Structure 1
Amino acid sequence: MRSSTISIKRHILLPILGAGFFLSLASFKDDFFEIAKQIEIFTEMYKQLNMNYVDETNPAELMDSAINGMLSDLDPYTIYWTEQEVERAKINSRGEFTGIGANVSTQADKLIIMEPWKDYPADKAGLKAGDEIIKIDGTSISDYKDNAGELLQGSAGTEVNVTYMRQGKKNTATLKRAAVEIQAVPFFEMATPEIGYVILSKFNEKASRETKEAIKQLKEKGAKKIILDLRGNPGGLLSEAVNVSNLFIEKDKLITSTKSSVDKYNKTYLTKRNAYDADIPLVVLINGRSASASEIVSGSVQDYDRGVVIGARSFGKGLVQRPQELSYGTQVKITISRYYTPSGRSIQALDYWNRDTDGNAVRTKKEDYKAYKTVNSGRTVYDGGGVDPDIKLPSAAYSPITTSLLRENAIFDYATDFYYSHQYSDLDKIQLTDADFNAFVAWIESRGFNFDTETESAFAKAYKTAILEELDDDITTSYKGMMQSIQNAKKKDLRDKKAEIMSLLTDEIVKRYFYREGLYNHQLKYNAEIQAAIKVLNSPTEYHKILN
């Protein structure tokens, strides 16, 4: 009965979300009667459930479940925002908020400090990455039903008391909240006497302004070439992606076009100004966590043969979202269109509208990638799953095994243990060796490979179904053998993906001792992708050979 109820929610509740918005589309879709009909059905069902269900129901929770159930059939970027989430999105866009100055992760009734920012309240109070907050102003995290991270927010200058666990010991601290500025460009520096290096970490309202200012200052220091680092940049404002591209690409050039079933969302986005520097040699760094606006910039740079792209294939998010206002300060962020690079490429990796028999989004197969030509030199580039770099490096990749390690916080947890058993006072002394990698693998093995791959999850789910159907007696031996084979394959894969794992492990460990600024300085000297970028920029022959 429960499953059929969920199915009804998913298929008849479409009109409930922002009825005004959907009604406004009736003239386009000519389905006003169907919308009104479904609204009426839902209203009656909602009323009957609240009046007659055997147990007491919570109307707000019922509605949240209905909304989330409906949206789950679409794509992961079409989401409903509560009033608090709307405000949080505005803060992220502005790049300013008030808090304790730390990345905090909510994990199964826990609040984990992932990264304290230097000289902000969490850092001043002595909190470290890996600390588990168990109480905030006397409220136990395990008893708090909502997002406990919100308890850390408040007006600048107000105090918050936290109780936390570190290495099995309970500690307390009092923090004074402060205004926190999130910079789009957290770091820029000279990589060599002639090469400037700029990290662009997000596309908020300040992205193009801060990027331009960073390049300006680097040129004043002698920079004649630029490395723009978009690794790990999840995207943001489409307008800022166009503006950042415009720093290097001349006026009136197409940066991206959007296509939709709704005519008003079919648009082209051209550069509006003269380029800040249309000739400076340029390398753009990307990886598997460079998404959306990052892919617009790297895709346009590649399509115009404006610079060399180095790293690993980007994430592959070619969908555009727009928030629509709802009642009581809430919003729905709706996927309104797909975007395309100047050559016509869609870099969307997953197809959420033609799913497989299990309901999972289908990834475009390599053999189905379509070839396109770059605008200026006619180089061949491909669509179908992110921006493929001109120079690929294994250290920049995110293989499934590495993604599993990150998802289960294995690299983070190992770095925590490493920090409390090693001492470093010199940034340059942190040079992980084969012995360190072997120690990490041994640590993983001692935990029993306590991270699941998607393959394991699928087999485990199937086995649970077999138990319910009383088939486990016949397949238990085979199942155990299969899971052991997967464990052996994981062990081999760990070593095969050594380059990318070591890169991430080094980054996480460096941050523990020298904060994010220390990480950036360390990468500037030792990171494989940055060194590859320097090598290409120092060789005009190779640089132009790639672009031509």
Structure 2
Amino acid sequence: MSSKHSSINIKRQILLPIIAAGLLLSTASFQNDFFEIAKQIEIFTEMYKQINMNYVDDTNPADLMDKAIEGMLEELDPYTVYWTEQEVEESKINRRGSYTGIGAQVSSRDDKIIIVEPWKDYPADKAGLKAGDEIIQIDNVMISDYDDNAGDLLKGSEGSELTVVYKRQGKTNSATLKRAGVDVQAVPFYEMATPEIGYVVLSKFNEKASKETKAAIEDLKEKGAKKIILDLRGNPGGLLSEAVNVSNLFVPRGKLITSTQSHIDKYNKTYLTKRNEEFEGMPLAILINGRSASASEIVSGSIQDYDRGVIVGARSFGKGLVQRPKPLSYGTQVKITISRYYTPAGRCIQALDYWNRDENGDAVRTKQEDYKAYKTVNSGRTVYDGGGIEPDINIETAAYSPITTALLKENSIFDYATEYYYKHQYEDLYKIQFTDEDFQDFVNWVEARGFQFETVTESAFAKAYQTARNEELDDDIKTSYDAMIKIIQQAKRKEIMDKKPEIKSLLTDEIVKRYFYREGLYNYQIKNNPEIKAAIEVLEDESQYQRILK
């Protein structure tokens, strides 16, 4: 036997037992996992049956199961969710960008449906419905008596009629609408910002995102655009494939746009551009803010990492977790987080760590001092992780402070704009001015409304005071506690005043939209919005633009 064959046999004798042992360990591990899952399912099934058969009061099996599912998912991240049949259908609508309904953005609040924004020339608008209207009844169904998602009642076959009863400024009204096909545009607006700079709003990443973005820029080029502002502010994301395609408009073929990493091998993937760059060399500024998430961060992150354009605004949301829907029985689905997104330079987009929580059970955010430095692909300039995309140019009004976020969450800005609309009349878009006197009126209105915003400091004092009460020490410290709470309230009022620029900007935007629809808002912003002004400024200053990128 030759030495070569002898060597091969020796290697086989060494490797085969190792491979066999590895397979046995892998199989054993899989079997252990499978056994543990089967064991827990069996225990749960038996317990579920015993409770439904033997509990002292009547139980609702569906409600019990819903609570069990909610409890299981609560320990994970907020994006791993259970979808009913209706929610599965809604996700399909979001991807397609079209549905049949009344043509309005709505939200549910306190047993009623609030019209958030009627879209121009769609059924809700034609019927005279306005932002702030409170729908309390649809046909014969009272919203307060309806347990499921009442917004689904507004949808139906094209041409079908529905009657809504709604409240406006304390008065009850009714309107009859005829449902129509609604086209949800990915690019709701584009226009020339200056004789050489085009402005494009990309509001969502549905199936039409890259196609509509490309068409908008091509049209603007025909009007003289040599540079582009792409507005991704408030864009919550959508289809990963469309994020890659939009990036491909500015990045050449064969370039990495994002990668996904998971402990499951099949979900470790890289996503490359597949076509030639459409707008090669065209100077680009991208606008982002704290509500720009997921696909928006993939686009802005890839543009930044390739030094392809300047990012303007405020740090993006930081949603770098990838979900994939998995089918369940009866048309339902579970949307499961399967991996994390990374930019071309290797930065993780995810901001919050849901697998490591603080003493209050909240996800941990990476501290700024722990941010890691990375180098951009082309120029080697330094960029950082920490979750989300940090702009090259930060604008104060683009960032949402905790007080502003709380005002938005409480619907204070929306509800004040509703009252403002019915007290003021404007026929000229550019004559709308939200003055300092108006802002002071807003502050007074917020205080009279009883705005609730608990600071971290306030929460800590409240817990300490409760401990003192439990230990019967509250009589000794009540006076000091009350004085401290009063000081905190004064500090919160000062915080609202300190954040006047960003709050005024949001109020102005909401008010403009009431009179002149979303198209009017975008036209107003082109001339008045600080982030757009900053983007125009950097695109017009070639030396500053190049200095940032190099």
Place the TM-score, normalised by the shorter chain, in its bin. over 0.9
- Partner of 2:356, secondary structure, is coil
- Shift in alpha-carbon separation, 1:238–1:30, aligned structure 2, 3 A: farther
1:415 aligns with 2:429: no
Give the match for residue 447 of structure 1. Answer: 449
1:399 aligns with 2:401: yes
Q: Give 2:64's aligned amino acid.
A: L
CA distance in 1, matches of 2:291, 2:31: 37
Unaligned runs of 5+ in 1: 1-24
Is 2:403–2:453's contact at 8 Å kept on the other side of the alignment?
A: no
Question: What is the aligned residue count?
Answer: 524
**Bigger Rg, which one:** 2
Deviation at 1:499, TM superposition (A): 1.4
Is 1:26–1:32's contact at 8 Å kept on the other side of the alignment?
A: no
Give the match for residue 294 of structure 2. Answer: 292
1:438 aligns with 2:440: yes
CA distance in 1, matches of 2:169, 2:412: 16
Is 2:106–2:115's contact at 8 Å kept on the other side of the alignment?
A: yes
Give the match for residue 126 of structure 1. Answer: 128
| Map 1:33-432 → 2, pairs under 5 A | 33-432=35-434
Give the match for residue 537 of structure 1. Answer: 539
Q: 1:503 aligns with which of 486, 497, 505?
A: 505
CA distance in 2, matches of 1:126, 1:464: 51
Deviations 1:339-391 (A, max 9, x none): 10011001211110011122110111101100111111111100012100000
Is 1:404–1:453's contact at 8 Å kept on the other side of the alignment?
A: no
Deviation at 1:471, TM superposition (A): 6.9
Deviations 1:3-47 (A, max 9, x none): xxxxxxxxxxxxxxxxxxxxxx99868511111101100110110
- Partner of 2:357, secondary structure, is coil
Deviation at 1:263, TM superposition (A): 0.4
Deviations 1:503-531 (A, max 9, x none): 11111000000000100110111111111
CA distance in 2, matches of 1:138, 1:170: 16
CA distance in 2, matches of 1:513, 1:47: 57
Deviations 1:197-254 (A, max 9, x none): 1000001111111111111111111110000000000011111111100000001111
CA distance in 1, matches of 2:386, 2:307: 20
1:32 aligns with 2:34: yes
Is 2:302–2:343's contact at 8 Å kept on the other side of the alignment?
A: yes
Q: Give 1:430's aligned amino acid.
A: I
CA distance in 2, matches of 1:79, 1:449: 31
Deviation at 1:159, TM superposition (A): 1.0
Deviation at 1:155, TM superposition (A): 1.0
Deviations 1:273-331 (A, max 9, x none): 11101210000000010001100100010000000000001101111111111111000
CA distance in 2, matches of 1:461, 1:177: 52
- Shift in alpha-carbon separation, 1:251–1:225, aligned structure 2, 3 A: same
TM-score for the superposition, normalised by structure 2: 0.92
- Shift in alpha-carbon separation, 1:457–1:430, aligned structure 2, 3 A: farther
Deviation at 1:121, TM superposition (A): 0.9
CA distance in 2, matches of 1:290, 1:72: 24
Q: Give 2:67's aligned amino acid.
A: S
- Shift in alpha-carbon separation, 1:53–1:185, aligned structure 2, 3 A: same
Give the match for residue 518 of structure 1. Answer: 520
RMSD: 1.9
Deviation at 1:128, TM superposition (A): 0.9
Deviation at 1:463, TM superposition (A): 6.3
Unaligned runs of 5+ in 2: 1-26
Deviation at 1:479, TM superposition (A): 4.4
Q: Decide which moves more: 44-53 or 107-116.
A: 107-116
Give the match for residue 6 of structure 1. Answer: none
- Shift in alpha-carbon separation, 1:466–1:233, aligned structure 2, 3 A: farther
Query: Once superposed, which parts of structure 1, at least 4 consecutive aligned residues long, lie more than 4 Å away?
Result: 25-30, 450-479
CA distance in 2, matches of 1:457, 1:26: 49
TM-score for the superposition, normalised by structure 1: 0.92
Is 1:373–1:379's contact at 8 Å kept on the other side of the alignment?
A: yes
- Partner of 2:230, secondary structure, is strand
- Partner of 2:191, secondary structure, is strand
Provide the identity percentage.
76
Is 2:156–2:179's contact at 8 Å kept on the other side of the alignment?
A: yes
